[in-house]
C-alpha cells in the first residue's frame, strides 16, 4: 500500500482518549486549512467506534470554523440513542477550545427491503481518460492551486470533463469524475465508508461555479463548504473505480448547492451526497 494511503488510513483510525472521546491529527494537503473531508471522515470514524453490528446509512454535518492543520482535533461523541433497528450518534469536533464541526450520524442493523435506483450516466471508462495529475503537468494550473494539485494523493482521479477551475467558459452545472484509492485495501466495511466520506468532499461544491465562468486562475474566488450530507445505499470497495456524478440545481446569496451520486463500475448506486458551499467572487484579486 502506498505511503499516502497508509498515512490517510492511520489518520482516520484516531486515538481513543476516553470511552466517547477521540483525538485525530491533520495533514497538509496543499490548502491553507484542514480539508473538510478529513474532518468528515474522522468524525464518522469516531462515531463508528461507539457502535457495534450496525452500519452507517446517513450523516449530516456542518463546518463551523476552518481547522488548523498544525493542531490535533478532539472528537466528542454523544451516544444519543441505541434502538432496536437504528443507532444515533452526535459528534462535536473541537480545536483550540472551540467547536469547528458538528456531525449527526445514523446506523442501521442489516435488513432486507424494496429496492430501486437511478441509472449510472453513460460516460467514458476511466481507462480512456487522463489522470488529473496530467492537468498539472500541462502548466495551466495557477500557482495558488499548483501545490494542492501536485501533491501525492491517496486517490486516483480521472475527470470526465476538463476541470472547471482551468476555464472561464460558462458550462452546464454538471460534472463526473472516476476515483479509487491508489492501492488495495483490507476487507473492512467501516474503513471503506470512512474513506468514501473523506473523498466525497472533493470538488462537489465546485460544480456550483460552472454556469458562471468562474476561473480560479484569477485569484478572486472564495469557495468553502458550509454543510455536507451523505446517504450510504449499498456496500462498495473504494479501491475499485467509482463514478462521482455531480450537479448543482441552484446558486444564490453567495451560496451554491451541489448534489452527488456515487456509482460502482457495474452501475450500482452506492451513495448520495448534498452540500451547500460559500461561493464569493470579487471584482479583482483579493488582497
Active site residue 247: no
How far apart are alpha carbons 128 and 142 in whole angstroms? 26
Residue 165 phi, psi (nearest 5):
-70, -10
Active site residue 201: yes
| Owner of C-alpha cell 474566488 | 221
How far apart are alpha carbons 282 and 33 in whole angstroms? 21
The cell numbers describing 212, all together, are 458562471
Q: Of the residues 176, 201, 239, 245, which is catalytic?
A: 201
Query: Strands 155-159, 98-108: parallel, antiparallel or unpaired by DSSP?
Result: unpaired
How far apart are alpha carbons 192 and 184 in whole angstroms? 11
Q: Of the residues 26, 45, 176, 225, which is catalytic?
A: 225
Q: How far is CA 139 from CA 8, 77, 150, in A?
A: 28, 45, 11
Please enumerate in sequence order all residues whose Cβ is within 8 A of that of 94, keeping only pairs 6 or more positions apart, or say none: 73, 74, 75, 76, 100
Q: Report the chain's C-alpha Rg in angstroms.
A: 19
Instruction: Answer whether 102's CB lies under 8 Å from 225's CB.
Output: no
The cell numbers describing 35, all together, are 480539508
What residues act catalytically? 201, 225, 275
Amino acid at each position: 500500500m502506498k505511503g499516502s494511503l497508509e498515512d490517510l488510513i492511520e489518520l482516520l483510525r484516531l486515538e481513543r482518549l476516553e470511552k466517547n472521546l477521540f483525538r485525530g491529527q491533520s495533514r497538509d494537503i496543499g490548502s491553507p486549512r484542514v480539508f473538510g473531508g478529513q474532518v468528515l471522515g474522522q468524525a464518522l470514524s469516531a462515531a463508528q467506534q461507539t457502535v457495534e453490528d450496525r452500519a452507517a446509512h446517513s450523516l449530516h454535518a456542518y463546518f463551523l470554523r476552518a481547522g488548523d492543520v498544525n493542531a490535533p482535533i478532539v472528537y466528542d461523541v454523544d451516544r444519543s440513542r441505541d434502538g432496536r433497528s437504528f443507532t444515533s450518534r452526535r459528534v462535536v469536533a473541537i480545536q483550540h477550545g472551540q467547536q469547528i464541526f458538528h456531525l449527526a450520524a445514523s446506523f442501521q442493523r442489516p435488513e432486507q427491503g424494496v429496492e430501486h435506483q437511478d441509472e449510472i450516466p453513460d460516460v467514458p471508462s476511466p481507462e480512456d481518460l487522463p489522470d488529473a495529475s496530467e492537468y498539472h503537468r500541462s502548466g495551466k494550473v495557477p500557482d495558488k492551486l499548483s501545490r494542492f494539485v501536485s501533491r501525492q494523493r491517496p486517490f486516483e482521479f480521472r475527470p470526465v470533463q476538463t476541470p472547471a477551475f482551468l476555464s472561464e467558459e460558462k458550462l452546464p452545472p454538471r460534472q463526473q469524475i472516476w476515483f479509487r484509492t491508489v492501492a488495495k485495501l483490507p476487507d473492512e466495511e467501516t474503513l471503506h465508508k470512512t474513506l468514501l466520506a473523506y473523498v466525497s468532499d472533493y470538488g462537489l461544491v465546485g460544480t456550483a461555479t460552472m454556469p458562471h465562468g468562474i476561473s480560479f486562475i484569477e485569484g478572486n474566488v472564495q469557495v468553502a463548504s458550509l454543510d455536507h450530507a451523505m446517504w450510504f445505499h449499498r456496500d462498495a470497495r473504494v479501491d475499485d473505480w467509482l463514478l462521482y456524478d455531480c450537479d448543482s440545481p441552484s446558486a444564490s446569496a453567495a451560496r451554491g448547492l451541489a448534489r452527488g451520486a456515487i456509482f460502482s463500475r457495474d452501475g450500482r448506486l452506492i451513495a448520495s451526497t448534498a452540500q451547500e458551499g460559500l461561493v464569493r467572487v470579487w471584482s479583482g484579486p483579493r488582497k
